[in-house]
Amino acid sequence: MIEKILALNIKMQRKKNGITMRSLAKLIDVSPSFLSQVEAGKAIPSLLTLKRLADALNTTIGKLVGEDKEVEDHNPIIRKGNRILIDNIGRKIKIELLAVQNTNNEIQPYIINFDKNSDTGMFGTHKGQETGLVLKGVLELYYNNKTYVLNEGDSFYVTSTVPHHLRNINEGASRVLIVSSVPRF
């Protein structure tokens, strides 16, 4: 049974990442025919090969063998008063996580609440992309050596590997909804 789960998960991750079987086999130092047998559920890779597979597919061994599969009937709702709150007092911002924390999450929505004269920090970079919508106030977005002013209702989309940060330039508090393609918290 595990070989079928493993086979399906490897094949799905490989296709999701747009990697050919031949390219993946070369990356992990196995023959294309062996990888084909693994994806067909007819062979089980060694632990070392499994680790190489997970790394090459940007995932974990646990995900490949199905150990952290989400429970089908999980509660997808987080009530306003039950959100996880990350309080960054030094920067005078509070982050509200809007989704159930799960290792299977591929995106992460959250709200950043800015006090007056606060910011997210200078020139942050990380994997993925982010999109944001200003819910309240006025923010300054620094991105790719340019500065943009965002008013309530304005939105943005950035590649997160480019240095970027947000700063509250409003006379009072500001709020922005962010959706990140790579969970960070």
CATH code at position 132: 2.60.120.10
163 shares a domain with 94:
yes
Is 110 within a domain? yes
* 4-18, 29-43, 46-60, 89-103, range with the lowest pLDDT: 89-103
108 shares a domain with 148:
yes
Is 70 within a domain? no
User: How sure is the predictor about 42, in pLDDT bands with cuts at 50, 70 and 90?
Assistant: confident
Domain span including residue 168: 80-180
Is 72 within a domain? no
Q: When comparing pLDDT for 149 and 7, which is higher?
A: 149
Average pLDDT, the chain: 86
Is 71 within a domain? no
Looking up tokens 């997970």 gives: 54
Separation CA 141–CA 133 (nearest Å): 12
Domain count, the chain: 2
CA 180 to chain CA centroid, Å, is 6
